[in-house]
Amino acid sequence: MPIVRYIAVSVLILAAAMVLVFGPRPAPALPPGRENDVIVQYWEKWTDPEASQMRQIVDDFNRSVGAEKHITVQYLSMTNIDQKTLVAISAGVPPDIAGMWDANIAQYGALGSLEPLDDLAAAAGITADYYKPVYWKGCHYDGHLYGLISTPAAVALHWNTRIFSANADVLRAHGCDPDQPPKTLADLDRYAQALETFSLGVDGKKHLERAGYLPMEPGWYVNLTPYWFGGDVWDPATKKFTFTDPRVIAALKWVQSYSDRLGQDAVAEFSSSTGGFNTPQNAFVTGQVVMEQQGPWMANILHSLKPEMDHDWAAAPFPAADPALKDVSFCGFDILSIPKGAKHKQEAFDFIAFVNTQAEMEKLCSLHSKNSPLAKVSPEFIKNHPNPYIGVFEELAASPNAHGPMDCPVATEVGGELMSCIQAISAETATVPERMAYMQDFATRSYQRFLDTQEAYRRAAAK
């Protein structure tokens, strides 16, 4: 066969492969009369049931504002959305809306990977006074608005009222009121100790069967413990880390005190016997842990995993070390942001603004069993909310002692390293001052590297 034929066949095969991989795809089907709508791609991190609940809001939009403005939002639920969005942004094909986490505001905002929404929000009449301050502040980085809220949360103490009642005498013997939650951290420790039970193992050692409270169970917010001691690991005014602050040290020594008292081996073994959060083996659901730090979604989780527990739990502000510190909480939230390079910014923002209307926001937050991020809350929202303690979460979110996400672009990296240090502290393989000195150095270096990178890009842009 002449060589030309070989080359021609190879080129044809290659071309066919290219068409298959990169070629056109069928256009998404739109309802009759909406064929010319602008299609807004919306990627969201939630999986069911929260994903389906958000879909109701998307459907509301497509039926109302979307129909009026000829916009159709196409909703796609996925895992690892931050990494997928990152790759899509760099490839120049980002979604129009990315539903990510609060920590992405500073990280992606600093990199210029998100569209600033200041002008779009101002044009839509969305201003600071519309939100609770902690959430509005958290949506900003370096003076710019990089996202709006999809759903918020506040962290509170949850306790099992049935176990409290069943152990009323033991609690009273320890000087605790079985009808009230602990008011201070010292109280919490006393309640926890009263509720602990042990069994004897094959090795003759005591094994923890039920924990009153364990900082590492589930441990989602253990790195934020300094808030309840009046401290913080980051000073937003000076933009410096403060890991060696005595209040931070005191907070982590308190975390370590549980391993000191119960024994590291017993705590580790106990933790291995508890199941994943959204499973029937959840330690709070099984009663293995009596008190836990969690968000308002716990009402939905408990109802779905164990409906008979609906009236066996309660929520209150998590006690602070200093009784003068009232209603301390961490108020994280989920965001709706527009990635840089999105094709339909205005239409995407129309949807984000729609989600942030009071009616839709309250509907979504009720479905997700979360508090509202808005300054004004309707009486119906409180009355019909699936979480009977939603008032507690509303007060915590409105409190002056409510803390939002760290306003620092390296917060994800620093937070990850802090969690690892806390594991070492809990396992008693390191002392708190030693680990915090390491964290101070690690975080300062990490932030300096970020600043150096920013400076290099600033200089390159100035050339």
Partner 1 sequence: MTLSKDTRNLCKGLAFLSPWLLGFAVFTAAPLALAIYLSLCYFSLSRNGGNSAAIFRGLANYRELFHDALFWQVLRTSLLYSAMALPAGMLMSLAVAILLNSKVIGQSVFRTMVFLPSLVPSVASAVLWMWLFNQKLGLINNFLGHFGIAGPGWISDATWVLPAFALMSLWGIGNTIVIYLAGLQDVPRELYEAAELDGAGPLSRMWNVTLPMISPVIFFNLVMAIIGVLQVFDVPYVMTNGGPAHASYFFTSYLFDKAMKYQEFGYASAMAMVQFALVLLLTGIAFWTSRKWVHYR
| Least CB distance to partner 1 at residue 106 (A) | 12
Q: Which is nearer to partner 1, 186 or 451 (CB)?
A: 451
Q: How many CB atoms lie within 10 A of CB 339?
A: 23
Question: Phi/psi at 291 (nearest 5 deg)?
Answer: -125, 140
In sequence order, what are the beta bridge partners of 315?
158
Question: How many residues in the shown chain lie near partner 1 by CB under 8 A?
Answer: 54
Q: Which of 92, 125, 307, 379 is in the footprint of partner 1 by CB under 8 A?
A: 92
Instruction: Specify the stretch interacting with partner 1 by CB under 8 A; choose among 65-73, 121-129, 140-148, 412-420.
Output: 412-420
Q: Which of 245, 417, 440, 443 is in the footprint of partner 1 by CB under 8 A?
A: 417
Q: Which of 127, 273, 378, 384 is in the footprint of partner 1 by CB under 8 A?
A: 273
CA diameter of the chain: 98
Q: Does 341 bind partner 1 (CB under 8 A)?
A: yes
Which residues are CB-contacts of 126 (< 8 A; sequence separation ≥ 6)?
Answer: 148, 353, 356
Long-range contacts of 76-85 (CB under 8 A, 24+ apart): 76/41, 76/42, 76/43, 76/44, 77/44, 77/45, 77/46, 77/47, 77/48, 77/51, 78/43, 78/44, 78/45, 79/45, 79/47, 81/43, 81/44, 81/45, 82/45, 84/43, 85/43, 85/339
DSSP 217: S
Q: Which is nearer to partner 1, 97 or 390 (CB)?
A: 97
Q: Token pair for residue 415?
A: 């937070």
Per-residue contact string for residues 115-154; x = within reach of partner 1 by CB under 8 A: ----------------------------------------
| Least CB distance to partner 1 at residue 86 (A) | 5
Q: Does 277 bind partner 1 (CB under 8 A)?
A: no
Q: Does 6 bind partner 1 (CB under 8 A)?
A: yes
Q: Does 34 bind partner 1 (CB under 8 A)?
A: no
Helix H or strand E encompassing 198 = strand 197-200
Residues in the chain: 463
Q: Token pair for residue 41?
A: 């791609």
Q: Which of 58, 89, 252, 301 is in the footprint of partner 1 by CB under 8 A?
A: 89
Q: How many CB atoms lie within 10 A of CB 326?
A: 13
Under 8 Å between Cβ of 310 and 285: no
Distances (CA, A) of 367 to 160, 247, 330, 451: 23, 38, 21, 41
DSSP 436: H
| Least CB distance to partner 1 at residue 146 (A) | 13
DSSP 182: -
The CA distance from 223 to 107, in Å, is 19
Q: How far is CA 388 from the centre of its chain?
A: 22
Q: Does 429 bind partner 1 (CB under 8 A)?
A: yes
Q: Does 418 bind partner 1 (CB under 8 A)?
A: no
Q: Does 412 bind partner 1 (CB under 8 A)?
A: yes
Q: Which of 38, 111, 170, 375 is in the footprint of partner 1 by CB under 8 A?
A: 111
Q: Token pair for residue 375?
A: 């300054």
Q: Does 78 bind partner 1 (CB under 8 A)?
A: no
Q: Does 21 bind partner 1 (CB under 8 A)?
A: no
Q: Does 10 bind partner 1 (CB under 8 A)?
A: yes
Q: Does 101 bind partner 1 (CB under 8 A)?
A: no
Helix H or strand E encompassing 208 = strand 206-213
Q: Which is nearer to partner 1, 358 or 454 (CB)?
A: 454
The CA distance from 9 to 3, in Å, is 10
Strand residue runs (E) in 343-394: none
Question: Phi/psi at 419 (nearest 5 deg)?
Answer: -60, -40
Instruction: Specify the stretch interacting with partner 1 by CB under 8 A; choose among 110-118, 153-161, 222-230, 344-352.
Output: 110-118
Instruction: Specify the stretch interacting with partner 1 by CB under 8 A; choose among 83-91, 229-237, 322-330, 372-380.
Output: 83-91
Q: Does 462 bind partner 1 (CB under 8 A)?
A: no
Q: Does 48 bind partner 1 (CB under 8 A)?
A: no
Instruction: Specify the stretch interacting with partner 1 by CB under 8 A; choose among 1-9, 66-74, 223-231, 306-314.
Output: 1-9
Q: Which of 36, 79, 238, 272 is in the footprint of partner 1 by CB under 8 A?
A: 272
Q: Does 427 bind partner 1 (CB under 8 A)?
A: yes
The CA distance from 344 to 237, in Å, is 36
Q: Does 94 bind partner 1 (CB under 8 A)?
A: yes
Q: Which is nearer to partner 1, 395 or 413 (CB)?
A: 413
The CA distance from 104 to 415, in Å, is 13
Q: Does 420 bind partner 1 (CB under 8 A)?
A: yes
Per-residue contact string for residues 198-237; x = within reach of partner 1 by CB under 8 A: ---xxx-x--------------------------------
Q: Does 12 bind partner 1 (CB under 8 A)?
A: no
Under 8 Å between Cβ of 148 and 99: no
Contact positions vs partner 1 (CB under 8 A): 3, 6-7, 10, 14, 82-83, 85-87, 89-92, 94, 107-108, 111-113, 201-203, 205, 265, 268-273, 339-341, 410, 412-413, 416-417, 420-421, 423-424, 427, 429-430, 438, 442, 445, 449, 453, 456-457, 460
